Amino acid sequence: MAVTDLHFVTGALQPVKRGIRFLGGASDDAVQIDAAGAAMGNVSTKGTIAFWCMVPDDTGTYTAVSFGDADVVEYLQVSVEAGTVQLVLVDATTVHIDVNTPAGSIKPHKWHHVAVVQDGVSPKIYVDGVEQTLSWTTAVSITSWFKDCVNLDSGSIGAAEMDGAGNLT
């Protein structure tokens, strides 16, 4: 990713607005947040991850937010895959949660607000304010959240941290 791939909006805008956009169009556009996973790990049993997304097609995979470990395959990831929102939580190579929204819940070339909520009982996914019916691939421990992934090191926006080697994909 080149420096020119990022554009920061800051300054005396009224009301004050701050943001980041990926301009490069390359598959490696991302922002890494050092120690974000460590700050969440072993603490949080409930929480919300929310973001806006617009995808170019309904066939690709686009990671929105990912928290991973550099030493073992352990991660929490939210992505848009083939027009669905997917939440995957893996603790030391064991998949605890792998769940998707219905096909077509994310339309290409349209802005969508996505919120993933773990209330301590089971994750819920909202698209544009509407709770989605979830399709479970894996439901080993549906109460899992950051507290169950104690080895998380960092987080990323726009890239996956799922290989256990500290690499972004």
| 114 phi and psi angles, rounded to 5 deg | -115, 135
Contact 67, 36 (CB under 8 A): yes
Q: Specify whether the CB–CB gap between 122 and 89 falls below 8 A.
A: no
What pLDDT sits at residue 126? Answer: 98
Cis peptide bond N-terminal to 123, omega within 30:
no
Looking at the DSSP assignment, which residues form a beta bridge with residue 114?
51, 127
Closest CA to 78 of 60, 62, 64: 64
> What pLDDT was estimated at residue 94?
92
**Residue 21 — pLDDT band, cuts 50, 70, 90?**
low
Q: pLDDT of 45-81, one tens digit each? A: 888 999 999 999 999 999 998 888 888 888 899 999 9
Q: Is 126 exposed, middle or buried (0-12, 13-18, 19+ CB in 10 A)?
A: middle
Q: What band does 89 get if pLDDT is binned at 50, 70 and 90?
A: very high
Report residue 2's pLDDT band, with 50, 70 and 90 as the boundaries: very low
pLDDT at residue number 147: 86
> Who wins on pLDDT, 56 or 38?
56
Please tell me the predicted confidence (pLDDT) of residue 101.
97
Predicted local confidence at residue 99, as pLDDT? 96
Tokens 């773990």 sit at which residue?
118
d(C-alpha 164, C-alpha 18), whole Å: 32
* Residue 90, helix vs strand vs coil: strand
pLDDT at residue number 9 = 47
Q: Phi-psi bin for 93: left (phi > 0), alpha (psi -120 to 50), beta?
A: left
Domains, in order of start, for the chain? 28-157 (2.60.120.200)
Residue 84, pLDDT above cutoff 90:
yes
